[in-house]
């Protein structure tokens, strides 16, 4: 009787230990450029207005910031999309929600800054706060702003905590190498097959079937594409992780998804030499902060 009671009590306590994946405030942004501008002017706006504006408005709350400008090439003929639905994507991450809100309150110009001349379309551009992936997927949209945290929490050891929350040591995106991976849905693939493949893909990362060198992974699935931001903790392993991802994709997902672009982000301090030249189509930048 005592054994059953102890088991029941343990089950209740275990279920009360909620997963706190991160205290950070993570924003997964995808923006579509306005129709009344050119790609050249749009990229000038990103490097000279939006990226500096994000750093200034982030104040002391901004912890890491990765910017991705996708290829400007025409998409392959067998893709679901006629053109990419975004012209820039980024992951700005803040120390915590309170400091993020303080920074936004102190810089009320930052939100509208995204939609000024040469910027983004309001109806097609938005950010999402990633939630821990638990085996169910929703397609992101303006009405359902969702992205996923694919870190393999079930395989990590939580930090000591008395708050009833499972907390973990944070991945360090500043010291690692950031990868950006864009996959495109193939044209004739049904919704059911697409979701099934994405679930299998995401589960493979959360179970570390792809690479043990990855610690930190955010992904967003939209109607015609999947975008990943991946942190490789050891920079010397970045190239081998790239090859693992390529081989994994070809072996398991080539019939459903096209691996369109897989890039290593350039580590670059804000406004350092080379800052201006780094912003171009088919590029990724991991902005380094000295703190």
Note whether residue 12 is domain-resident. Answer: no
DSSP class of residue 164 equals: S
Note whether residue 110 is domain-resident. Answer: yes
Residue 200 burial (CB count, 10 A): 13
**What total of structural domains would you count in the chain?**
1
Q: Tens place of pLDDT for every residue, the chain, 291 residues?
A: 433 433 333 333 333 345 555 688 999 999 999 999 999 999 999 999 999 999 999 988 999 999 999 999 999 999 999 999 999 999 999 999 999 999 999 999 999 999 999 999 998 999 999 999 999 999 999 999 999 999 999 999 888 876 677 888 889 999 999 999 999 999 999 999 999 999 999 999 999 999 999 999 999 999 999 999 999 999 999 999 999 999 999 999 999 999 999 999 999 999 999 999 999 999 999 999 876
- With H, G, I as helix, E, B as strand and everything else as coil, classify residue 65: strand
Alpha helices in the chain (DSSP H): 2-16, 39-45, 51-58, 97-106, 110-113, 191-206, 238-252, 275-278
Note whether residue 190 is domain-resident. Answer: yes
Domain that holds residue 85: 20-288
- With H, G, I as helix, E, B as strand and everything else as coil, classify residue 145: coil
Note whether residue 164 is domain-resident. Answer: yes
Note whether residue 13 is domain-resident. Answer: no
Note whether residue 11 is domain-resident. Answer: no
pTM reported for the whole predicted model: 0.91
Q: Which residues of 202-213 are buried (b: 16+ CB within 10 A; e: fewer)?
A: beebbebebbeb
Note whether residue 57 is domain-resident. Answer: yes
Note whether residue 89 is domain-resident. Answer: yes
Question: Which domain CATH number covers 103?
Answer: 3.30.70
């Amino acid at each position: 009787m005592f054994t059953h009671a102890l088991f029941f009590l343990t089950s209740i306590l275990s279920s009360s230990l909620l997963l706190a994946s991160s205290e950070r405030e993570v924003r997964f942004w995808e923006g579509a450029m306005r129709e009344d501008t050119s790609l050249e002017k749009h990229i000038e706006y990103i490097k000279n207005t939006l990226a500096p504006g994000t750093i200034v408005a982030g104040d002391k709350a901004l912890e890491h910031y990765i910017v991705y400008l996708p290829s400007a090439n025409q998409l392959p003929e067998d893709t679901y999309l006629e053109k990419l639905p975004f012209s820039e994507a980024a992951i700005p991450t803040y120390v915590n929600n309170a400091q993020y809100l303080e920074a936004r309150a102190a810089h009320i110009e930052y939100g509208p800054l995204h939609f000024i001349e040469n910027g983004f379309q309001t109806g097609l551009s938005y950010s999402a706060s990633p939630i821990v992936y638990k085996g169910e997927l929703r397609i992101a949209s303006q009405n359902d702003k969702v992205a996923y945290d694919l870190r393999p929490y079930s395989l990590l050891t939580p930090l000591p905590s008395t708050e009833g929350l499972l907390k973990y040591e944070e991945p360090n995106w500043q010291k690692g190498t950031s990868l950006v991976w864009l996959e495109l849905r193939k044209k004739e693939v049904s919704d059911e097959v697409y979701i099934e493949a994405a679930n299998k893909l995401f589960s493979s990362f959360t179970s570390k079937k792809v690479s043990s060198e990855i610690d930190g992974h955010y992904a967003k699935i939209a109607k015609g594409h999947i975008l990943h931001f991946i942190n490789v903790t050891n920079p010397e392993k970045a190239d081998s992780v790239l090859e693992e991802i390529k081989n994994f994709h070809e072996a398991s997902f080539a019939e459903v998804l096209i691996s369109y672009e897989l890039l290593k982000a350039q580590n670059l301090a804000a406004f350092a030499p080379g800052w201006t030249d780094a912003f171009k189509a088919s590029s990724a930048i991991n902005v380094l902060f000295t703190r």
